[in-house]
Structure 1
Amino acid sequence: MAKLRTITGRALLRRVSHLSPLMRNDTRWSSTFEMVERYLKLQPLIVQLGHNLLVENEIQPLLLRRAEHERVKSLARDLEKFEGVTKELQKATLTLSAVRRLFDQVVKEFPALKTRLAATAPIFNNPNLEQGLVKIQRREAVTIAERSACAEFKSTALERAPTREDSSDSIVKAAFKKTKV
């Protein structure tokens, strides 16, 4: 795909499509999904250019073989699932309980990810906290260890009660306070 991003490569592609190849961005995993998706759109169009033109521009040897192309299609199906999970994880209303449900489903479909996403994965710094918060959100019974880990987050009725605050004490309120004309 990198060869098709050159001036010559883009000129060739313009004969059959307005699309150009996408390259992977190391800081965005979704760019891998987008790159594979774009390849699958461009591949049949590239073949339309004809064997001689592809050989002349040194693109033919870079094309994937049929078995490799099938593997890319399979990869695209898996990446599409991960893309859906990624989009869901970006929602502001997502709870830790919902994240756990998502991760459990990912582990169910992709067991190799268990070491990273399972509730007991070694990557968690405080599994009792994570499991305790999930159980609290689900209104399930928590263990003593989970209760202890979550204790810092417990608020009293007094803390939850609305406090009366003078608007002059709040920078935010003062900044947005309407001035009388």
Structure 2
Amino acid sequence: MMAVSKAITSGYGPLAALVMDREYGSLLPSSTVRKTNGADMRSLAAAKAVIERLRGIEKRLIPEDIDADLKEELEQGLLATFSTKEESLKYKLVSMKDEFPLFGDLRGSGLIWSLDVVDIQGKLDHEACAIIQKALLERGVLVRDVRGALLFKVPITFTDDDLQQGFKIIEEYLRSR
């Protein structure tokens, strides 16, 4: 069972869904647990657009006068390249962890990963993490400082060029420390 809300409309309106196998749905009481008091048409339209963007849009619905790369991406859908993007991000993080001794454990999956910032004894270094996070933000790279770890939360829309450029900035900063 999984509840989804804000992301299903990309934040463009109120909507939530409870996703589960059919067999479990029959166990829910027939009351307001199964529905809200109404539906906002804007939210439904936004959710439909989000789902189409993830799964792909029919070729006949894509305007002819747009960039060929964007046209291909719209037709394929963002989920078609998700695994490749996950592998690329993980590879960059593992490489960075191997190169810089100030990094400890790497945890995550998909496009959300955290990398511990550690001191010489291997203990979390909250101060160094905060300094690195602030310096990267000043250079245009948004990572979060979460309890002594850098949190990388990459949007599914990123390109390989975006990834290379972001990690180039990160690595240049780390080498200059």
Q: TM-score band (shorter)?
A: under 0.3
Which structure is richer in relative contact order (CA contacts within 8 A, separation 6 or more)? 2
> Normalising to structure 2: TM-score of the pair?
0.23
> Normalising to structure 1: TM-score of the pair?
0.23
Q: Which protein is richer in helix relative to its size?
A: 1
Q: Which has the larger radius of gyration?
A: 1
Q: Which protein is richer in strand relative to its size?
A: 2
